[in-house]
Structure 1
């Protein structure tokens, strides 16, 4: 027995694709068509019962920056377009005004619509109105409810629309409304200009008096301060120049005094004992100092020469030289003293000049401060005079401009296109309403079809089975006959096409043998091949075929797998272990008096219990007499020995068992075989039942080879395996297997037999 394999990981759930959406549409297209027809007819009848509404349209120009016919120099005192932060705000405001209660009330009063019962009830001209009247305010609200304004994109234009059951009334009301709105806008501007004119007139007289007073005050001030001949600016400039000159002279005097002080310092450094070190600057300025210094230096040199000649200080020549030195020193010191006196005099003169210039500078600064005070008051008076003069001129000019603008009566809101008489109603729109009804019907039909498909909890496709059960799909087997296909047009057409290839009645369990070129036979051989390739190194010697519930085709699948194995050259025995509703003995026409149960009780009867069939390499072991306790027999040691004996005599043992859900027989058998094949019937096997069945097998560590997807209706194309359908339609395997005899007692007798 092969080792139990762990459950493979479940693949991801199939996403929502066009193919998954097309499947319910194709299956329930009649429901969708019916929903569309009903909704379309309903929309048509509702449309026919509604009152026809006509729409009149007018085009208006809203200019937030109106042209100035008097030129850009002439500005309107009152901006008739208003003051707004941006154009969008302006347009929103105007659209609100045109739909306002005030404008609507003016139109109602002018046309006396509040007394028109047809307007109030929105009746067509031919209808008979009641004597109903409403207030002006209520009639205005009715008018506003039928009015709409929409701006034309990227323009200053707007479309004003009004809807009414009477086309003439729609034209008349809208024409009156745009005229009333334009006139209202102009009247507002003119009223504002009138108020502005009154205010400007009163301001002109006041400003004229203020101007005269400011001019007289400025004149008196100039007279009092003696600034009539020279302007304040000229005086200020002259005083600034004087201060600048005094600053320059003061700086020069201070520099000169510093130079003189430096000479004094150098002269004071002269040593009376050695007066020869007179500063060079003083020697350059006095030739007498140069001569006296030269004489002194010469006398000193003579005395040095005499001393060098050995003549002492008492020598007459030395005494004479010393006398000349003393005389020249006294003369040099006297001249230095004279120079010092002159330098002191220059220092005093420079200091006096600095003091005088400082005093003059302070006086000039004080005069400048006084002048600043005068200038402040002067400028204040002059600004007052200039401001009054400018304001007086501006107000006078604006008064004239306002008068000119009032005379022009220019309106920045104009009617571009007046409303025409509407010929075609805008509502109800029959094509649009019918199309909407059809679309609604389509949506409801699709929702119903997809919802019905989603509520169907059966396994419908192999991919769905793989996802739900986490098992490999071993193959698909087409639906064998049409007993459950219904009586619709599509199903009748399918049956007519299949009738062309009908064959003689027989058991569907033998289709692989009786019709080896049919599509079902090819599918059975494909399942056989997949089973062999699932474990090529350790082939399945004992194979259990079961299903989750009855009537899912497990017996048919087991027979055809066994036949396909036998046709491949293997020696096969087909064992009927469905000891509750056995069927294989009827299929192969074998007696049931001996079989599995008798072989378990008397192993020597096994050879007698195995029957050869009309199919080469295929033998049959029926159930034998039905026992009261099948589960205990299958769980017994004798049954294990029976399987071992069959394994020794045959290459492959195929076991047909009861369904998994009702009884435990299949779970017991799954523990004794190499592999288990679970049959899933398309659109019949429920997901929850199949999951519980697979879980039951895994709980007992049964090795599940995979699933066979049975009873697939390829003509519905729900599965995507179109290659098989094309293969069949091309003439290969076109035989349709027959239905089983009506007296079948197995789980496959109640439904069309199929195998995958």
Structure 2
């Protein structure tokens, strides 16, 4: 969409001195204002589309057949019973409930339920039902009649069609945050709508009960088959376990271990029992060997062993020796060791020492024997324990597969017990039917039609018409390439806006309008002249051409007007008609074009004879001269440059009325000889793409374009619809009244 079209006004004041201001303001136009401008421009199209849609909606509403809607309400409770109580991954209750209720809503719209209702109401053989919904033509095979009755051959097809018709006209609406569900049915017959709504609720309840009964029977049969399969797997795993234990000679003894839930039977191996017993005996033997070793070591400490100290014979001998030693010491006080009595006591003491030594040696030998016996027993037990350890490790290796088989037996037994328990539960609950669906309100016969709703349909038609009208307006805006606003010249063509010129009334001569110094066109071209003074460093260009995209856009009027404005500014001006293919300046001067530009280009040098005065407008003009066979060939030489140089010696400004750009080579050739070009663009008379093409031709010829002038501008037809007419005739109404 051409959203860049701005509502900026024409340049008629200080802003005209800076044409870029218009473009910058246009680019800053709010988006809402741009949309409003488009809507305002195409408002009659939008209003027409809205009116057409409203009338169409009214006609369609009045032609529609009244429809009656009956409502039945049911309550769907959450099911709590399960066929089996197997526990799986726990899910959020809200998610489970949502899945359950969504499933029920789907069942309420199922094909089987609609066909069940059709069967119960005997709709498959009722011609009035099919005629009510506009189906059942006699030409169709399913609706063939014999004696004004449908044939039995097409009953299946009619049942399918009847079910589809019911589903298309039923609506299931669950109440928010509740277990209530409304069943709506709409048809042209109020009584029939109530019958179908009530039958739909009853059929749904019957279907729910039948489905539960079938699910119980199916679950019992399924569990029975699974129970037999589980029993076979359990027997097979037990046989496999016993055979493997026999092959590997694995003997386990049963043991009882108490628990809070009752006794639990487990098994232990004989090797493990023997190893535990021998390991305990080995620990005892090690203890006894350590004790015997300690006693034996104490025996070697000069008879200071515990056994020696506790021996009664050794104690008696030591007592006798002590007494004899005491007597011997008494004799030694009085006598020498050789005294006979002393010698006799010494001999007795020595004999007692030998007896004590023999007794201690005997005790020490007994302790050594005990130590060696304990050591031998310990070694024997160690050897047996090591042997049992090897046997136990070998048994552990062989028991890996045994344990695998044992686990399989335990798993199969647990599955079998669980299935058996579920089978018993189903057997108990199989004959009990619980209905979790109930009818809350039955459907009454509606007293007034639910459709069509006139106000709602008109509102929808108006909204649709408004949307369609806006779409049409945007499409038209997109396809419209006409230049409507002055600001578009700078935005679309990157061309400075010199000014906009209002359209001259039909039948008025531009020359006559220029003579009226208070006319709007004079004001407009004065603004163009003012802006033109800022295009070069030395002010208004001394030589410039005025061209356009195609003929009839007002370039000749622009050239004439600018020459007039410059002449009124006390400048010496000459207007040269450069359009040698379709000359027009001589008409404004009331002369012919027998002599003019083409004569000079052909070689004649007498310039004064080629010009004529336009005294009322204050400048001199040069006509195009005789129309040459090929104007472009005359313009390719240097004669045009010579002419301009000679004219600039006498005149302050040379204005050239150039031919159009499109399709001709004349305009670029003329533009290359002057300082620049003023481009005239007809408002709403030329497509933007053509203007861009023409400007690109000038750009390729390195032509300097001073700016654009929007001609034949009508403010009331601008896109914005306001703001452009303020510069034309400002204050004149007050002066006229005065």
TM-score between both structures, scaled by the size of structure 2:
0.65
- Counterpart of 2:171 in structure 1 is 148
CA distance in structure 2 between the partners assigned to 1:102 and 1:723 by the alignment: 70
CA distance in structure 2 between the partners assigned to 1:680 and 1:280 by the alignment: 144
Residues 520 and 721 (structure 1), Cα distance of their counterparts in 2 relative to 1, 3 Å cut: farther
Q: CA deviation at 1:175?
A: 1.0
Residues 472 and 286 (structure 1), Cα distance of their counterparts in 2 relative to 1, 3 Å cut: farther
- Counterpart of 1:118 in structure 2 is 128
User: Contact (CA 8 Å) 1:660, 1:667: kept in 2 or not?
Assistant: yes
Q: CA deviation at 1:552?
A: 0.4
CA distance in structure 1 between the partners assigned to 2:379 and 2:130 by the alignment: 105
RMSD: 5.7
Q: CA deviation at 1:171?
A: 0.4
- Counterpart of 1:49 in structure 2 is 63
Q: CA deviation at 1:168?
A: 0.9
- Counterpart of 2:443 in structure 1 is 419
CA distance in structure 1 between the partners assigned to 2:58 and 2:596 by the alignment: 72
Residues 521 and 335 (structure 1), Cα distance of their counterparts in 2 relative to 1, 3 Å cut: farther
CA distance in structure 1 between the partners assigned to 2:176 and 2:303 by the alignment: 96
User: Contact (CA 8 Å) 1:588, 1:613: kept in 2 or not?
Assistant: no
Q: Is the partner of 2:450 in helix, strand or coil? A: coil
CA distance in structure 1 between the partners assigned to 2:44 and 2:387 by the alignment: 117
Paired residue total? 602
1:162 aligns with 2:185: yes
Q: 2:159 aligns with which of 114, 137, 146?
A: 137
1:525-545: CA deviations, max 9, x gaps?
Answer: 332233222222575210111
1:235-250 aligned within 5 A: 247=279, 250=282
- Counterpart of 2:196 in structure 1 is 173
Residues 675 and 418 (structure 1), Cα distance of their counterparts in 2 relative to 1, 3 Å cut: same
1:371-409: CA deviations, max 9, x gaps?
Answer: xx9xx9xxx999999999999998777766666xx3xx5
User: Contact (CA 8 Å) 1:59, 1:157: kept in 2 or not?
Assistant: yes
CA distance in structure 2 between the partners assigned to 1:544 and 1:243 by the alignment: 125
- Counterpart of 2:283 in structure 1 is 251
Residues 361 and 589 (structure 1), Cα distance of their counterparts in 2 relative to 1, 3 Å cut: closer
User: Contact (CA 8 Å) 1:590, 1:611: kept in 2 or not?
Assistant: no
- Counterpart of 2:725 in structure 1 is 725
User: Contact (CA 8 Å) 2:549, 2:660: kept in 1 or not?
Assistant: yes
Residues 522 and 721 (structure 1), Cα distance of their counterparts in 2 relative to 1, 3 Å cut: farther
1:590-625: CA deviations, max 9, x gaps?
Answer: 78676545666554452883526345xx42222164
TM-score between both structures, scaled by the size of structure 1:
0.63
CA distance in structure 2 between the partners assigned to 1:116 and 1:402 by the alignment: 40
Q: CA deviation at 1:703?
A: 2.2
Residues 95 and 692 (structure 1), Cα distance of their counterparts in 2 relative to 1, 3 Å cut: closer
- Counterpart of 1:554 in structure 2 is 555
CA distance in structure 1 between the partners assigned to 2:475 and 2:637 by the alignment: 49
Stretches of structure 2 lacking an aligned partner (at least 5 in a row): 1-19, 135-144, 225-252, 319-350, 392-398
1:652-691 aligned within 5 A: 652-661=653-662, 663-691=664-692
Q: 2:105 aligns with which of 95, 103, 122?
A: 95
Q: Is the partner of 1:644 in helix, strand or coil? A: helix
- Counterpart of 1:59 in structure 2 is 73
1:475 aligns with 2:499: yes
User: Contact (CA 8 Å) 1:28, 1:449: kept in 2 or not?
Assistant: yes
CA distance in structure 2 between the partners assigned to 1:725 and 1:642 by the alignment: 41
CA distance in structure 1 between the partners assigned to 2:387 and 2:570 by the alignment: 141
Residues 286 and 673 (structure 1), Cα distance of their counterparts in 2 relative to 1, 3 Å cut: farther
CA distance in structure 2 between the partners assigned to 1:31 and 1:551 by the alignment: 29
1:249-288 aligned within 5 A: 250-257=282-289
CA distance in structure 1 between the partners assigned to 2:129 and 2:77 by the alignment: 33
- Counterpart of 2:537 in structure 1 is 536
User: Contact (CA 8 Å) 2:679, 2:707: kept in 1 or not?
Assistant: yes
1:185 aligns with 2:208: yes
User: Contact (CA 8 Å) 1:62, 1:158: kept in 2 or not?
Assistant: yes
1:11-26 aligned within 5 A: 25-26=39-40
Per mean C-alpha deviation after superposition, the further-off stretch among 670-679 and 256-265 is 256-265
1:354-387: CA deviations, max 9, x gaps?
Answer: 3787799999999xxxxxx9xx9xxx99999999
Q: Is the partner of 1:423 in helix, strand or coil? A: coil
Q: CA deviation at 1:524?
A: 2.1
1:293-692 aligned within 5 A: 341-351=365-375, 353-354=377-378, 406=432, 410-442=434-466, 445-462=469-486, 464-466=488-490, 469-481=493-505, 483=506, 507-509=509-511, 511=513, 514-516=516-518, 518-537=519-538, 540-587=541-588, 595-596=596-597, 603-606=605-608, 609=611, 611=613, 613-615=615-617, 618-623=618-623, 625-629=625-629, 630-661=631-662, 663-692=664-693
Q: CA deviation at 1:58?
A: 1.7
User: Contact (CA 8 Å) 1:246, 1:361: kept in 2 or not?
Assistant: yes
Q: CA deviation at 1:515?
A: 2.9
User: Contact (CA 8 Å) 1:613, 1:619: kept in 2 or not?
Assistant: yes
1:70-128: CA deviations, max 9, x gaps?
Answer: xxxxx77689xxx999444433443344344544444344433344332232179xxxx
Residues 259 and 42 (structure 1), Cα distance of their counterparts in 2 relative to 1, 3 Å cut: same
